[in-house]
Amino acid sequence: MVQRYVVEAAAWLEIVVGAIFVTVPNIPCALLFGANPENIGTALARWIGISLFALGIACVPHQAGEPRHTAVLGLFVFNAGVSILFAWVGTVATVHGFLLWPAVILHAVIALALLPQLLTTSAFTGPSSFDRRSSHP
């Protein structure tokens, strides 16, 4: 049950942050990277916002049951990837905002919180395609 709340909280976080990137990309860019997006950067920031928003919507758990394994995997890959990307930016770039390292930590914690659900077979909400193939005579 705790894992369901972790997935739901992570999904809603991505929805909110995605909406912020779409509507006011200067604010999260300044907070994370210490710079405002210019030229193509604004369009790219909004593209990221749309992607985060869509990821969050796709990963909100169903009312009837546990979150789907693919949704949990998607959230895990996204959060682990963003944590690695932001940590890299923080170590090699000279320009970054004061929320960059807290964002690294937040995404790493979310990825670690999702990991136990990925490692258990109870994360699957139905028979996999392998199970269906192997049940035929």
Return the pLDDT at 63: 67
Long-range pairs of 105-109 with CB within 8 A, sequence gap ≥ 24: 107/79, 107/80, 107/82, 107/83, 108/79, 108/80, 108/83
61 or 56, higher pLDDT: 56
Cα–Cα nearest to 52, from 79, 83, 90, 85 = 79
CA 28/CA 10 separation, integer angstroms: 18
Contact 29, 58 (CB under 8 A): no
Contact 86, 33 (CB under 8 A): no
Highest mean pLDDT among 32-36, 67-71, 90-94: 32-36
CA 6/CA 70 separation, integer angstroms: 15
pTM of this prediction?
0.62
Out of 16-25, 35-44, 57-66, 71-80, pick the least confident: 57-66
Contact 7, 61 (CB under 8 A): yes
